[in-house]
Amino acid sequence: MKRRRSFRDRRAGGARLAAELSHRSWHDPLVLGLPRGGVVVAYVVADVLGAPLDVAVARKIGAPGHPEFGVGAVTSSGEPTYDGRSLRSLGLTPGDLREACAAEKEEARRRERVYLRGREPLPRAGRDVILVDDGLATGVTARAAARMLRRDRPRSLTFAAPVCAPEAAIGLKAEVDDVVCVLRPERFRAVGEWYADFGQTTDEEVIDLLQ
């Protein structure tokens, strides 16, 4: 028997997440979506909270031969973040991933240029920043983004997603002030399993939402 999906699509996940976040008190909130799919969720959250929307770009570093399996992540600046347990299990070192890291850093820079369209990112210092994605699997991309955002000195930094792997949510608390998840299923395998429609989001969709 096929299991019923928890969210119709990313917008529905965003509505559920926004309901959780709307019960809290925020100081000058800023909602940042992790492109691409996280921006769709973040758009709904920002709309409900009456907060501005922007992006925080971080790129997954995939395992050799299995790019969908993230063993690390990198932003457009700063050092990469790696998942030590994943590296050990695959017998890899950061040096083995140097070329992949450089390629993903360049892609992060490209996406920032595309999404920001020549403008500066919205100010983050002194604000309650809410970093949003469509889900949390290993958590390595969220950790890389959080470390980048900490340099901008927000008043607080919260990560939020409709569905999170419990272990990843616990691990992420070392990087942020709070982790908010609608669902933390014990049997978690992939983010897409919890959405009926988990189609790929395009750059054009992200640009439209930001506008």
- pLDDT at position 2, please? 42
Q: So what's the pLDDT on residue 175?
A: 97
Q: Determine contact, residues 46/64, Cβ cutoff 8 Å.
A: no
The answer to the question of residue 178 being in a domain is yes
Token representation of residue 72: 């690390």
**Structural domain includes residue 188:** yes
Give per-residue pLDDT as tens, 91-111: 999 999 999 999 999 999 999
Does a structural domain hold residue 83? no
Q: Does some domain include residue 163?
A: yes
Spatial distance between the Cα atoms of 163 and 189, rounded to a whole number of angstroms: 11
Total number of domains constituting the chain: 1
The boundaries of the domain holding residue 195 are 10-58+116-210
Residue 1 lies in a domain: no
Domain assignment of residue 66, yes or no: no
Asked whether 154 and 124 are in contact (CB, 8 A), the reply is yes
Q: What is the pLDDT of residue 69?
A: 80
DSSP-derived 3-state class of residue 89: helix
Q: Are 59 and 110 in contact (CB under 8 A)?
A: no
85 in a structural domain:
no
For the chain, which ranges sit under pLDDT 50? Answer: 1-2
Type of residue found at 59: R
Look up the CATH number of the domain holding residue 44: 3.40.50.2020
Q: What is the pLDDT of residue 68?
A: 76
Residue at 71 is within a domain:
no
* Cβ–Cβ under 8 Å, residues 126 and 78: no
